[in-house]
């Protein structure tokens, strides 16, 4: 207890150090000492990471099933065989999430605005929007994709399209708009009522206040969580393989079935990592930037 | 153009007060028996107030006396419980009145500026003329620029509000209200959120507006300013106008004990 002190093992040593250096030779050595402390902590991080990952690799490689896992999941030959085919099929996923995302951003905002309309006249509108958001957040995405993708064409009504891609877009749009509408709504509610008072006091009507004053500010605030939902959508595009859309996951299944090797799944995993991790980093960066801005404006 | 104006005047005169020009008889603002409560809290308890055209009325009183609520009620930002509000002969509290059209004629400036942070100064000022009055972008920008120039803000027209000082922000808020060419301007403690050294620049703007004949109702804690600018001072106490009169009457010879008490506290605080 007395050795470690209240601030951890270095807590009782560091202030003394910097005090000494300030007295003896001014700020530059203090800065140098800080740099060396940073270097020290990063070298500790490096060593501990190397140790941990070496141990993990050792355990995996010496597992009894490792040779067959390597053969069936990490086979170099089948990796390079399947990668171009899967990248090609991934184009369908890209088309799917890009189309759906545009529709989601529009429908989600519409639902959010519907839920934000005040007054008793708009009660039915709020009710419809609330029921929509509740139901589509309650149901698993896969279930909705199944119900729409098989159910509606199954009705056999003349003129109803049968293209599974279309139902995939509709199903994902319905599911994600429910989530996205909640994100928008949180954004709308985070705008201080004085902004609406200012807009209304100038003679703008309720719709104009939303359109020009409230929503533009709300959307700026919710861009990071919207990007998060977008990442989720990208990953969920593989679910539509269940209704017969030949996208990257279905393509991997086809190759696996033909070649009796699961390496195509690893190729697909790699593609998702390459696509989504930069977006996730970008989202984190946006959040951090917004936090800094908030800190600056609240000074 | 002239014929239309004459015709419109005749209609107004005919409907309101037969044979007499409307402008000379109808006060700019008439508040009669206004009651307003928030839940159990009765904030306004029977306010009667008449403001003539070109008059500058200052509302003074302690915090919670109902000054801000009265201004928000006049601008229909708060629904009222009882009473009538009449602007230039038209009752704005009557059922079925288009509140958006009323608000275009009544400007309000808030204590906390409430500029739109996502818009430049120019867009803040031109938004309402363009969207509520249907003014063209070019004309709205030209008029806004002229107003900004008049109040020394021309070089700030492309800045965003967070780059401006509090005093500049509040002057932009005043310009934004003026861009709608209101008949009546309501000012709700517009200097209370400002650093002391920025108060003067904002009050000077209001003084200039007063000289220009703008009808204004001003809720304020700046007693020196109220004494300077007001044609009439109203002392609000517990939701009623307890005493009103010329600045010299109210500040030098207050009749009511509560008014004397209030002013005594202001003097002790060194603000008069």
3 state SS of A155? coil
> With an 8 Å Cβ cutoff, is A208 touching chain B?
yes
Q: Which residues of A touch B108 (CB under 8 A)?
A: 201
Same-domain check for residues A252 and A104? yes
Nearest residue in A to B130, CA atom:
A204
Same-domain check for residues A193 and A231? yes
Residue A3 lies in a domain: no
Q: How confident is the model at residue A22 (pLDDT cuts 50, 70, 90)?
A: very low
- Cβ–Cβ below 8 Å for A202 and B133: no
> With an 8 Å Cβ cutoff, is A18 touching chain B?
no
- Residue of B106, B114, B118 lying closest to A198 (CB–CB): B114
The string of DSSP letters for B114-146 reads ---TTS-HHHHHHHHHHHHH---HHHHHHHHHH
| Cβ neighbours, 10 Å, residue A38 | 10
Q: How far is A191 from chain B (nearest CA, A)?
A: 11
Residue B91 bridge partners (DSSP) = B86
Strands B56-60 and B232-237: parallel
Domain definitions of chain B by residue range? 2-268
Mind listing the pLDDT tens digit for each residue in B165-210? Answer: 999 999 999 999 999 999 999 999 999 888 888 888 899 999 999 9
Between A158 and A90, residue with greater pLDDT: A90
Six-digit token string for B26: 């109808």
Q: Can you give the length of chain A in residues?
A: 299
Model confidence at A15: pLDDT above 90:
no
Residue A8 lies in a domain: no
Residue with tokens 């099933």: A65
pLDDT of residue B17: 39
Same-domain check for residues A131 and A230? yes
3 state SS of B75? coil
Overall number of domains in chain A: 2
Same-domain check for residues A221 and A102? yes
Tell me the CATH number for domain B2-268.
3.40.50.300
| Domain housing A119 | 68-297
Alpha-carbon distance of B154 to A90, in angstroms, equals: 54
pLDDT of residue A139: 94
ipTM for the predicted complex = 0.84
Residue A4 lies in a domain: no
Residue A251 lies in a domain: yes
* Count of A-B CB contacts under 8 Å: 60
Residue A261 lies in a domain: yes
Same-domain check for residues A228 and A157? yes
Work out the average pLDDT over A102-122.
Answer: 92
Mind listing the pLDDT tens digit for each residue in B39-67? Answer: 999 999 999 999 999 999 999 999 889 99
* Phi then psi dihedrals of residue B44, to 5 deg: -115, 130
Contacts of A77 (CB under 8 A, 6+ apart): none
Q: Which of A45, A61, A77 is the last residue of a domain?
A: A61
Residue A9 lies in a domain: no
Q: Which residues of B touch A293 (CB under 8 A)?
A: none
Q: Are the CB atoms for A247 and A93 separated by under 8 Å?
A: yes
Q: How far is B29 from chain A (nearest CA, A)?
A: 17
- Cβ–Cβ below 8 Å for A204 and B115: no
pLDDT of residue A32: 63
* Phi then psi dihedrals of residue A289, to 5 deg: -65, -45
pLDDT of residue B187: 95
Alpha-carbon distance of B129 to B179, in angstroms, equals: 7
Six-digit token string for A147: 């119900």
pLDDT of residue A103: 97
Segments of chain B with pLDDT less than 70: 1-25, 271-272
């Amino acid at each position: 207890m007395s050795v470690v002190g209240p601030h951890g093992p270095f807590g009782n040593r560091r202030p003394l150090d910097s005090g000494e250096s300030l007295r003896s030779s001014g700020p530059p050595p203090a800065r140098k000492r800080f740099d060396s402390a940073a270097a020290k902590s990063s070298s500790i991080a490096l060593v501990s990471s190397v140790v941990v990952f070496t141990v993990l690799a050792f355990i995996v490689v010496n597992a009894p099933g490792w040779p067959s896992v390597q053969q069936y999941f990490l086979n170099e030959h089948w990796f390079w065989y399947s990668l171009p085919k899967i990248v090609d099929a991934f184009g369908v996923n890209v088309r799917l999430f890009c189309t759906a995302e545009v529709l989601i951003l529009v429908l989600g905002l519409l639902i959010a605005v519907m839920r934000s309309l005040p007054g008793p006249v708009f009660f039915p509108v709020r009710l419809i929007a609330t029921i929509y958001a509740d139901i589509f957040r309650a149901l698993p995405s896969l279930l909705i994709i199944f119900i729409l993708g098989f159910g509606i064409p199954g009705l056999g009504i003349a003129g109803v399209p049968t293209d599974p891609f279309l139902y995939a877009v509709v199903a994902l749009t319905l599911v994600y708009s429910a989530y996205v509408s909640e994100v928008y709504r949180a954004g709308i509610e985070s705008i201080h009522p004085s902004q609406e008072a200012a807009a209304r006091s100038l003679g703008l009507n309720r719709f104009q206040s939303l359109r020009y004053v409230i929503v533009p500010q709300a959307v700026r605030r919710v861009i990071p969580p919207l990007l998060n939902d977008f990442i989720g959508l990208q990953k969920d595009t593989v679910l539509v393989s269940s209704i017969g859309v030949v996208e990257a996951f279905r393509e991997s299944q086809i190759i696996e079935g033909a070649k009796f090797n699961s390496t195509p799944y690893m190729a697909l995993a790699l593609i998702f990592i390459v696509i989504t991790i930069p977006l996730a980093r970008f989202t984190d960066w946006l959040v951090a930037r917004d936090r800094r801005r908030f800190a600056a404006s609240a000074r | 153009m002239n014929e239309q104006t004459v015709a419109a005047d005749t209609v107004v005169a005919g409907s309101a007060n037969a044979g007499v020009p409307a402008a000379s008889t109808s006060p700019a603002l008439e508040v009669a028996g206004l009651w307003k409560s928030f839940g159990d809290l009765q904030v306004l308890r029977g306010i009667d107030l008449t403001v003539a055209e070109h008059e500058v009325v200052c509302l003074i009183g302690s915090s919670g006396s109902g000054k801000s609520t009265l201004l928000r009620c006049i601008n229909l930002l708060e629904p009222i419980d009882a009473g009538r509000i009449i602007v230039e002969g038209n009752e704005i509290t009557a059922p079925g009145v288009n509140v958006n059209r009323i608000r275009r004629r009544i400007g309000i400036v808030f204590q906390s500026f409430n500029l739109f942070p996502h818009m430049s100064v120019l867009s803040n000022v031109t938004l309402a003329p363009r969207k509520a009055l249907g003014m063209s972008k070019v004309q709205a920008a030209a008029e806004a620029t002229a107003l900004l120039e008049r109040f020394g803000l021309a070089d700030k027209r492309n800045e965003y509000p967070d780059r401006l000082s509090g005093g500049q922000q509040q002057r932009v808020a005043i310009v934004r209200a003026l861009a709608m060419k209101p008949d009546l301007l309501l000012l709700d403690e517009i200097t209370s959120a400002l650093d002391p050294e920025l108060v003067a620049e904002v009050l000077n703007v209001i003084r200039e507006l007063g000289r220009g004949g703008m009808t204004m109702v001003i809720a304020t804690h700046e007693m020196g300013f109220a004494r300077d600018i007001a044609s009439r001072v109203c002392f609000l106490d517990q939701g009623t106008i307890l005493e009103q009169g010329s600045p010299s009457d109210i500040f030098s010879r207050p009749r009511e004990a509560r008014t004397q008490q209030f002013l005594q506290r202001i003097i002790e605080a060194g603000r008069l």
